[in-house]
């Protein structure tokens, strides 16, 4: 089903501070290309894994939003802190928005559906204040479990602090090149990876399940997002810790979780139980 574009309301207000930060990050990402070395590149890759792989995929998404597994409180806090390194907001903001997305996926009220335009789903919703106007609903309706933790509440308000501390460390360690790659390039790349899940995987890809929305699976995006690209699988089985449900659906976060479970760091892992015939079926 092709997304139906809905005009953006003229009442939506641009957030110029967010726009300025994004412009600076993108400018820094371009500048980073002129300061390339294998050292700064691999530092950026490692930080991308920490921020997006552990922080977003294992933390904000599969643990904090969908409660797909259980782990010690210190680990929950550590994963949430890693999540802030993406500059995608604090745990209350991220979890609240994502739960709204699932509750109203590709319907009125979805914060980032491509039915309002693919660029709206990709970045438009981020640069408008509308996505922040629903914050008052998080505590009472969408994320009361997150609101019970004082640390999450503090982190939600000061989510930019860990990135500032990391930036100062990188600057002291490796100068401008390390800062440009470890912060600007890495954050910009991570943002677009996450945004592509919001936009592209509701427009292009394969659909194994009828999830009641436009969600699709994307092998390429799954590689860059540690398994989050299996978006149709996820929307059909949102509480499953495993998103890549077939053996060929590479899901780095699921592999990581199996290792964490083996050493006793996580438990009560929830996984969708599906018939092999269903897994082998391709969308028409």
Residue 281's pLDDT band (cuts 50, 70, 90): low
Say if residue 192 is exposed, middle or buried (CB neighbours under 10 Å; 0-12, 13-18, 19+): middle
pLDDT more than 70, % of the chain: 88
Q: Please give the pLDDT value at position 238.
A: 96
pLDDT-derived band of residue 6, with 50, 70 and 90 as boundaries?
Answer: very low
CA–CA distance, 266 with 227 (Å, rounded to integer): 18
Whether residue 9 lies inside any domain: the answer is no
Strands (E), the chain: none
237 falls within a domain:
yes
- pLDDT, tens only, 213-272: 999 999 999 999 999 999 999 999 999 999 999 999 999 999 999 999 999 999 999 999
Domains held by the chain: number: 1
List the domain range (segments joined by +) for residue 227: 16-280
Query: Would 2 be classed as within a structural domain?
Result: no
Is residue 10 assigned to a domain?
no
Instruction: Answer whether residue 193 is part of any domain.
Output: yes
Contact 29, 184 (CB under 8 A): yes
pLDDT band at 51 (very low <50, low <70, confident <90, very high): very high
pLDDT at residue 273 in the model? 81
Give yes or no for residue 170 having a pLDDT over 60.
Answer: yes
Give the chain's mean pLDDT: 90
Average pLDDT over residues 170-187: 98
- Output the DSSP codes for 165-228: HHHHHHHHHHHHHHHIIIIIIHHHHHHHHHHHHHHGGGTSSB-SS--SS---B-HHHHHHTTTT
Using the predicted structure, report yes or no on whether residue 142 has a pLDDT greater than 80.
yes
147 contact partners, CB below 8 Å, separation of at least 6: 92, 138, 139, 153
pLDDT at residue 199 greater than cutoff 70: yes
Average of pLDDT values for 108-121? 92
Cα dihedral 57/230/112/150 (nearest 10): -20
Neighbour-count burial of 131, counting CB atoms closer than 10 A to its CB (0-12 exposed, 13-18 middle, 19+ buried):
buried
CA dist 84 and 56 (Å) reads 9
In Å, what is the CA distance from 106 to each residue of 102, 207, 247?
9, 15, 29
Q: What is the mean pLDDT of residues 124-152?
A: 78
Range in 14-18, 106-110, 131-135 the model is least confident about: 131-135
Q: What percent of the chain has pLDDT over 90?
A: 83
Residue 11, domain member (yes or no): no
Lowest average pLDDT, out of 125-134, 160-169, 233-242, 267-276, goes to: 125-134
In the predicted structure, residue 136 carries a pLDDT above the cut 70:
no
Report pLDDT for 167: 98
Higher pLDDT, 142 or 82: 82
């Amino acid at each position: 089903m092709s997304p139906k574009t809905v005009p953006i309301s003229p009442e939506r207000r641009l957030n110029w501070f967010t726009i300025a930060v994004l412009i600076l990050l993108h400018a820094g990402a371009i500048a980073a290309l002129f300061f390339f070395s294998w050292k700064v590149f691999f530092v950026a890759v490692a930080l991308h894994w920490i921020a997006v792989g552990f922080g977003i995929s294992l933390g904000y998404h599969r643990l904090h939003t969908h409660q797909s597994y259980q782990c010690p409180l210190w680990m929950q806090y550590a994963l949430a802190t890693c999540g802030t390194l993406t500059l995608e907001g604090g745990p209350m903001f991220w979890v609240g928005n994502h739960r709204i997305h699932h509750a109203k996926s590709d319907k009125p009220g979805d914060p980032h559906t491509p039915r309002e335009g693919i660029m709206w789903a990709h970045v438009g919703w981020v640069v408008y204040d509308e996505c922040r106007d629903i914050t008052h609903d998080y505590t009472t309706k969408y994320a009361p479990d997150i609101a019970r933790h004082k640390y999450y509440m503090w982190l939600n308000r000061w989510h930019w602090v860990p990135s500032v501390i990391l930036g100062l460390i990188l600057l002291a360690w490796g100068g401008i090149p390390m800062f440009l790659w470890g912060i600007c390039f890495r954050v910009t790349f991570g943002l677009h990876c996450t945004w592509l899940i919001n936009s592209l995987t509701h427009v292009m890809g394969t659909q194994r399940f009828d999830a009641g929305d436009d969600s699709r699976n994307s092998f390429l995006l799954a590689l860059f997002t540690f398994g989050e690209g299996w978006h149709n699988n996820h929307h059909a089985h949102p509480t499953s810790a495993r998103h890549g449900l077939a053996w060929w659906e590479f899901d780095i976060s699921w592999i990581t979780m199996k290792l964490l479970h083996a050493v006793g760091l996580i438990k009560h892992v929830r996984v969708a139980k599906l018939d092999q015939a269903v897994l082998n079926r391709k969308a028409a």
